[in-house]
Structure 1
Amino acid sequence: MATIEKRTDQNGATSYRVKIRLKGYPTETATFDRLTDAKKWAQLTEAAIKEGRHFKTTEAKKHTFADAIDRYSADVLPIRFNSTEQRNRLPMLEWWKAQIGHCVMADLTTANFAQARDSLAKSGRKGKPLSPATINKYFVVAKDILKRCVNEWHWLEQSPLRDGRVELPELPRGIVRFLDDEELARLTKACKESPNQLLYPAFILAISTGMRQSETMNLYWREPETPPTETAWGVVNLAESCIILHETKNGDRRRVPLTSLALVELQKLAKVRRLDTTLVFPSPTHPHKPIELKKAWANALKAAEVNNFRWHDLRHCTASYLAMGGASMVEIAAVLGHKTLDMVKRYSHLSDGHIANVVERMNNRLFGTN
């Protein structure tokens, strides 16, 4: 809140010193000759601070949001994300630039982004609104730009999108499709009996690690001379029983442990692997490209009588089995490579038994058993 102190110097001249103190923000002060000017500055500055528009530096007045988008596109996008994610983000960056790129950083408010959210909701194809998931993706990009403006470039002191100030559409609960014990047994048998000898080890690896399909199919036995640019990829390290994913969907490097049957199957493959490629799962006709398992996978699903199941659902299986085995949401997120817990909340109901046991143990410690 603002306080105004009347001051008189030795010559009898009067001035008014304004001091603004708001919790969580640095104190702002200014001095004026007229009381009306002091009151006006106090009112405008306090409102600007609350709305995230007041900045000590002049950088916020020098740059527009379009400048931030251009810098992000040139300096962050090519280094931080693989080419697939770059292609996904470029149209979103162009949309933000056209929508509010003209705004000076100092003038960006939550109202600008709330209006942009409403525009997104009406800008779908064929007159249909964009899905909540798509709208959220646009805001993931905007938040990333603003975060760098604050933390790295010092163009802003605070982001207008901090602390969830713009309410985004709620995401629908994700569908969790995982194999029950009988389905798992049948599908494992069908994959093992497939004429395609790479289907079974790929299946075992995917369900054992929770890796995405692109991560599984773009594995190398050693670091390739020319790193792939089109998708996620990683390197198998049998000596340390792990896989190092150098590129992932969220841009982070990830270490994936190899244990049990997944490790055994990769050890078998290593003994009979092709010498004309370093890919773990190469195409039979184009050895420097990953194999296409679509047909073999469809045949295995049909033979196992497993319906409504995609390769990506193997990732859900991994998470579901971890939850049912008592793994925490934090542990599941670490295995799957998620930065936040939002994406793994869908599996929380599967760990109810584990949570009940935790609560019971706590109560036993506090009150003893009957």
Structure 2
Amino acid sequence: MATIKKRLAKDGKPRYTAEIRLKGYERQTATFQRLTDAKKWIQDTESAIRNGKHFKTTQAKKHTFADAIDRYLSDVLPVKFTSKEQRNRRPILAWWRDELGAHVMADLESPLFAQARDKLLKKTNKSGKPFSADSIKKYFGVIQNVLKYSVNEWHWLEVSPLRDRRVEMPELPAGRVRFLDDQERERLTAACKESANPLLYPAFILALSTGMRQGELMNLYWKAPANPPTETAWGVVHLDQTAIVLHSTKNGERRRVPLVGVALQTVRELSKVRRLDTALVFPSADPDCPDKPIELKKAWATALKRADVIDFRWHDIRHTTASYLAMNGASLAEIAEILGHKTLQMVRRYSHLSDSHVSNVLASMNAKILGSGH
């Protein structure tokens, strides 16, 4: 049942208050300056209610943003994220709670988040340096997740105030791309092979061949452990499938990593001399801590020095893999799939390395449909 009541406002002009009462639903009201608008609102709202698409505005007025953050902290964070990621997100959520927590959900609009962005631009980190664009992106990424649950799961919001990129983010830097040239790769491979630590070479070969993250590599098992790590991703080697299956990765999805060539041969050789007191592929050298991953920092630093490779971190092996893939014709989508990125944004830094491949593809297409030319 719907009714419309007319009254005169203080300015002497008419106002039309529309009211909808449907059994099993909360009373809905709205006021308009024109009768036609009131009638249209009734028609649209009744249709939305019957189709189950009407948003209950009372929820948005009943809960504050602090309520949403608290619910996220108690219901979502412990279930969806590792202990390490929980520690990373808690101070970010605390900042948002202090900044916008007092606002009711119905009052959350993009200008409030734009003001918050400007405050973050003036914020400093523990070193006293201004917040980077990447840090600001992380703050917004976390709070966008809270807003997503507020819309989709709890129905405390109809739409997110951050939808459609309504708040402009600062430009992110292009990102570091340091990869080994052919001579550096040969020298470093030889230095790792000659290392006093027998696990450095197979770890290096596996990292270079697959592009796996260090945390994924150091938490590899020959068989699934009874108590897998919660702080980082972990995986299991399946030699019968010539692959590694990574569980609980950084982006939250399982990933299958093929083992081919020298990497496959290296893992097979490693399996023949594996320790029996642990299921880890790269266990600690300490006999009292067999289930702790090995520490390669000292052996890695020594190998870099012997190979005369400067300004190169372990994580740059991953960049090296991606760069080689790009230079050998892999598409950005293929690189993203191999590295375990959900979007292409993180792999666009390698796009310039595949320019020649793109040129060859275009040349091939043109030759086929237009002829070689004269």
**TM-score w.r.t. structure 1 length?**
0.85
Q: Where do 1:303-342 residues align within 5 Å?
A: 303-342=306-345
8 A contact 2:57–2:106 mirrored in 1: no
| More displaced stretch, 116-125 vs 282-291 | 116-125
| More displaced stretch, 77-86 vs 298-307 | 77-86
Aligned to 1:211: 212
Aligned to 1:136: 137
Return the offset for 1:144: 1.3
Return the offset for 1:245: 1.3
Q: Counterparts of 1:318 and 1:33 in 2: how far apart (Å)?
A: 62
Q: Counterparts of 1:34 and 1:96 in 2: how far apart (Å)?
A: 37
Aligned to 2:365: 362
Return the offset for 1:64: 1.7
Q: Counterparts of 2:155 and 2:246 in 1: how far apart (Å)?
A: 32
Q: Counterparts of 2:290 and 2:262 in 1: how far apart (Å)?
A: 25
Return the offset for 1:130: 0.8
Asked whether 1:112 is paired with 2:112, we answer yes
- Alpha-carbon displacement from aligned partner over 1:75-113 (angstroms, at most 9, x marks no partner): 222222211111111110111111111111111000111
Aligned to 1:277: 278
Return the offset for 1:128: 3.6
Aligned to 1:25: none
8 A contact 1:82–1:251 mirrored in 2: no
Aligned to 2:85: 85
Aligned to 1:252: 253
Q: Counterparts of 1:229 and 1:343 in 2: how far apart (Å)?
A: 25
Q: Counterparts of 1:366 and 1:306 in 2: how far apart (Å)?
A: 47
Return the offset for 1:366: 3.5
Structure 2: which amino acid aligns with 1:173?
A
- Alpha-carbon displacement from aligned partner over 1:248-288 (angstroms, at most 9, x marks no partner): 22222211111111111111111110011111100111211
Q: Counterparts of 2:102 and 2:195 in 1: how far apart (Å)?
A: 58
SS of the residue aligned with 2:251? coil
Return the offset for 1:363: 2.3
Q: Counterparts of 2:36 and 2:104 in 1: how far apart (Å)?
A: 25
- Structure 2 unaligned segments of length 5 or more: list them: 1-5, 7-13, 19-27, 42-53
Compared with structure 1, are the counterparts of its residues 17 and 66 closer, same or farther at alpha carbon in structure 2 (3 Å cutoff)?
closer
Structure 1: which amino acid aligns with 2:216?
E
Q: Please tell me the root mean square deviation across aligned C-alpha atoms, in Å.
A: 2.7
Structure 2: which amino acid aligns with 1:167?
E
| More displaced stretch, 144-153 vs 266-275 | 144-153
Return the offset for 1:304: 0.8
Aligned to 1:288: 291
Structure 2: which amino acid aligns with 1:283?
S
- Alpha-carbon displacement from aligned partner over 1:195-229 (angstroms, at most 9, x marks no partner): 11000000001011111111101111111111212
Structure 2: which amino acid aligns with 1:64?
T
8 A contact 2:246–2:256 mirrored in 1: yes
Aligned to 1:49: none
- Structure 1 unaligned segments of length 5 or more: list them: 1-6, 8-13, 19-28, 43-53
Compared with structure 1, are the counterparts of its residues 131 and 31 closer, same or farther at alpha carbon in structure 2 (3 Å cutoff)?
closer
8 A contact 2:55–2:155 mirrored in 1: no
Aligned to 2:11: none
Q: Counterparts of 1:263 and 1:127 in 2: how far apart (Å)?
A: 46
Aligned to 2:9: none
Return the offset for 1:364: 2.8
Q: Where do 1:1-370 residues align within 5 Å?
A: 35=34, 56-125=56-125, 128-285=129-286, 286-370=289-373
Aligned to 2:50: none
Structure 2: which amino acid aligns with 1:73?
L
Q: How many residue pairs get matched?
A: 338
8 A contact 2:329–2:354 mirrored in 1: yes
Q: Counterparts of 2:319 and 2:282 in 1: how far apart (Å)?
A: 22
Structure 2: which amino acid aligns with 1:111?
P
Q: Counterparts of 1:362 and 1:156 in 2: how far apart (Å)?
A: 50
Compared with structure 1, are the counterparts of its residues 152 and 369 closer, same or farther at alpha carbon in structure 2 (3 Å cutoff)?
farther
SS of the residue aligned with 2:342? coil
- Alpha-carbon displacement from aligned partner over 1:322-364 (angstroms, at most 9, x marks no partner): 1001111111111111111111110000000111122223323
- Alpha-carbon displacement from aligned partner over 1:13-71 (angstroms, at most 9, x marks no partner): x99699xxxxxxxxxx98869649969x99xxxxxxxxxxx955432222222122122
8 A contact 1:245–1:253 mirrored in 2: yes
Return the offset for 1:129: 2.0
8 A contact 1:81–1:250 mirrored in 2: no
**TM-score w.r.t. structure 2 length?**
0.84
Q: Counterparts of 1:145 and 1:34 in 2: how far apart (Å)?
A: 36
